[in-house]
A = this chain, B = another copy of it.
Amino acid sequence: MIETTERRSSVGAQRSPASEAAILKAAEEILLEGGLAKFSIEAVARRATAGKPTIYRWWPSKAALLLDVYHRQKNVVLYPDTGNLEQDLLLMLASLFAFWREGSGGTVFRSIIAEAQSDPGAAKALYDYAADRRVQTADLIRHAQARGEVGPEISATIAAEIIAGFAWGRLLTNRLDQAPEDIETAIKQMVAGLLPRPSKP
């Protein structure tokens, strides 16, 4: 990684990639080190040696910056499709938890959720993002449904929502590290509810 603390200056009438990178880097570092409590536009500008207006020009709100930070690191979570739903979901949740645990991923997402409770823009973004994630997970479940692994009357979207809810709950109450085997238990119990019903005698 090239570490340039050298003085940046304007590159003329166009967005400066160096500034953008410095701002995103500073934002992520602050979140990693001090959490949402230390995260302010002021602090990001200070650390990135950027002017506050430069930040406000490109990210209209604290939430927008958070979302940008989150998206730039989000390509780690798996949506495997191995032919076994329970295993797929277990892998997915495990990789999600791992992503949240290591680095700033979890802190950033927690911050977005928090911000969404007061900032309408962030609320909209979170709403859309959550919907998108539900679709992805639901696809996994629908594949299993097609394979006959999941009952035909099951709502894949709601099943996806339940799984996400479990993960969010752990994240928001600082319990990502608590009893990792719970993930397996939870997945088992959730998947059990999705099995095709045995025809009643």
If A36-B117, A114-B114, A165-B168 touch, does A158 touch B185 (CB 8 Å cutoff)? yes
B162 touching A186, Cβ below 8 Å:
yes
Confirm or deny: A193 has a beta carbon within 8 angstroms of a beta carbon on chain B.
yes
A165 touching B169, Cβ below 8 Å:
yes
Main secondary structure of the interface of A (DSSP, over half): helix
Chain B residues near A175 (CB-CB < 8 A): 127
Q: Digit string of A106-135 for contact with B (CB within 8 Å is 1, else 0)?
A: 000011011111110001001100100000
Instruction: Give the copy number.
Output: 4
Report the separation of the CA atoms of residues A198 and B192 in the bound assembly, to the nearest whole angstrom. 12
B35 touching A118, Cβ below 8 Å:
yes
Q: Digit string of A180-193 for contact with B (CB within 8 Å is 1, else 0)?
A: 00100110111111
If A123-B174, A165-B165, A169-B164 touch, does A189 touch B158 (CB 8 Å cutoff)? yes
Confirm or deny: A37 has a beta carbon within 8 angstroms of a beta carbon on chain B.
yes
Chain B residues near A198 (CB-CB < 8 A): 198
Looking at the complex, which one of B126, B162, B182 makes contact with A173 (CB distance below 8 Å)? B126
